[in-house]
Amino acid sequence: MPSRDEMQSYYAARAPYYDDVYDKPERREDIAFLKSHLPAVFAGRKVLEIACGTGYWTQHIAPAAAAMTATDAVAQPLDLARGRPGVGAVRFALADAYDLPESLGTFDAAFAGLWLSHVPVERRNEFLSSLHRHLAPGAKVVLIDNSEVQLKDFPIAERDAHGNTWQMRRLKDGTMHRVLKNFPSRAELEAMIAGFGVRPAYQDLQNFWLLEYEAA
């Protein structure tokens, strides 16, 4: 079982009301697009989801996928994901994105929503190496994450020499948390996947960015 870091404690505590982020009116149009786009991309594929959280995207992708395994390193959100409608056939697994166990198997598609922004710059390669050990050549990979619009809610509080940025976030119980949250540019994302994939396709939505590519 993965050991828990500061961010994992934050997501464990936030799990019961995490889905509030999907109720923000300004995100409505992007979410409607993603709810139809993602199932179309993953239709008929065997999908590995990384950091699935409460399963918000799992519930929309799973009905279109041939099979789906959804993973997260934290038990609390994963338990909520298991209770979603439409996920009866999904295999859920507690797994660290940096050290995905061999037992997960091999996939021809992968998805990670709002995860890459939490990966330290110096660990991106480690994460992608872990993910790609489970992907067949040609596997379709989709990453989505917050654009800088999110900074209006949580401005950057700290920055380090690697280029990582942190936000200070208060939970409903009043506790403050220092959360790593990065906002990679399109060029940074394309350079990041260069050794792992081909045919990158990047899109800026109003509140999110979307990167799709094929495993090399």
Ligand X SMILES: C[S@@+](CC[C@H](N)C(=O)[O-])C[C@H]1O[C@@H](n2cnc3c(N)ncnc32)[C@H](O)[C@@H]1O
Binding to ligand X, residues 112-171 (CB under 6 A): 113-115, 118
Place of tokens 């038990």: 75
20 by Cβ neighbours in 10 Å (0-12 / 13-18 / 19+) ranks as: exposed
- CB under 6 A: which stretch of 23-31, 46-54, 83-91, 205-213 binds ligand X? 46-54
User: Does the protein bind ligand X through residue 8 (CB under 6 A)?
Assistant: yes
**C-alpha dist (Å) from residue 132 to 28, 43, 53, 191:** 32, 20, 20, 16
- CB under 6 A: which stretch of 37-45, 50-58, 168-176, 208-216 binds ligand X? 50-58
Of the candidates 206, 24, 48, the residue with the CA atom closest to the CA atom of residue 133: 48
Question: Using CA atoms, how far apart are residues 197 and 199, in angstroms rounded to an integer?
Answer: 7
Binding mask 67-96 toward ligand X (x if CB under 6 A, else -) reads -----xxx--x------------------x
Report, in Å, the least distance between residue 149 CB and ligand X.
15
Nearer to ligand X, 53 or 197 (CB): 53
Of the candidates 70, 54, 61, the residue with the CA atom closest to the CA atom of residue 37: 61
Nearer to ligand X, 97 or 192 (CB): 97
SS3 for 101? coil
User: Does the protein bind ligand X through residue 210 (CB under 6 A)?
Assistant: no
User: Does the protein bind ligand X through residue 209 (CB under 6 A)?
Assistant: no
User: Does the protein bind ligand X through residue 41 (CB under 6 A)?
Assistant: no
User: Does the protein bind ligand X through residue 7 (CB under 6 A)?
Assistant: yes
**C-alpha dist (Å) from residue 182 to 92, 148, 176, 204:** 27, 9, 19, 16
In the complex, the residues that contact ligand X under the rule CB under 6 A are 7-8, 11, 51-53, 56-57, 72-74, 77, 96-98, 113-115, 118
